[in-house]
């Protein structure tokens, strides 16, 4: 399994494939989450993030191109597990006033997975001297952090207050 001459370049490419697969799964999940949301604000947030995710997929494709490699995903068990938990919440809390709080929690778990992966990739791109990749990864990283902050605000205000009422 282990090849002694594997290095940080291989790890970078493997992780790029991992997050590429993850983004494509997220792109499929977001419209379902938007449809399930009862709050208009939450639905709008999911729809907005769907558009951003398309841009993030394109940036990943640009990095594959910089590396001269085909853009290919690699099954990411982590995102599958995170999204499965989200689906479970959608089933178990459907029709209850805690559904939106559960959807927000699922979305924030997704955001944090992405923040960790993009942070890691940016650090490695820096060390590998890939300036263009650093710029692209940083753009997405900032977007993910902003999304997470706006989800936190939603969680702290309207959505959960309704659930607790």
Positions that interact with a second copy (CB under 8 A): 1-8, 10-11, 14-15, 18, 76-82, 84-85, 89, 91-98, 101-102, 104-105, 108-109, 111-113, 115-117, 119-120, 123-124, 126-128, 152, 155-156, 160-161, 163-164
- Is the torsion defined by CA of 140, 146, 148, 150 positive or negative? negative
Q: How far apart are CA 53 and CA 48, in angstroms?
A: 9
Q: Quick one: 136 or 163, whose CB is closer to a second copy? A: 163
Q: In whole angstroms, how close is the CB of 161 to a second copy at the nearest point? A: 7
Q: How far apart are CA 13 and CA 121, in angstroms?
A: 9
Phi, psi of 7 (to 5 degrees): -140, -165
Q: In whole angstroms, how close is the CB of 88 to a second copy at the nearest point? A: 8
Nearest to 33, CA basis, from 81, 105, 97, 135: 105
Q: In whole angstroms, how close is the CB of 92 to a second copy at the nearest point? A: 6
């Amino acid at each position: 399994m282990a090849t002694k001459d594997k290095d940080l370049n291989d790890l970078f490419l493997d992780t790029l494939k991992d997050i590429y697969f993850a983004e494509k799964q997220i792109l499929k999940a977001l419209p379902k989450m938007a449809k399930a949301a009862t709050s208009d604000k939450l639905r709008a947030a999911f729809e907005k993030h769907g558009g951003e995710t398309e841009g993030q997929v394109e940036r990943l494709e640009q990095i594959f191109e910089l590396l001269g490699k085909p853009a290919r995903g690699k099954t990411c068990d982590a995102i599958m597990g995170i999204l499965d938990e989200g689906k479970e919440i959608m089933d178990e809390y459907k029709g209850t006033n805690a559904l939106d709080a559960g959807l927000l929690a699922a979305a924030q778990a997704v955001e944090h997975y992405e923040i960790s992966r993009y942070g890691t990739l940016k650090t490695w791109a820096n060390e590998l001297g890939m300036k263009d990749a650093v710029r692209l990864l940083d753009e997405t990283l900032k977007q993910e952090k902003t999304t997470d902050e706006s989800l936190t605000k939603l969680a702290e205000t309207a959505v959960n207050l309704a659930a607790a009422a």
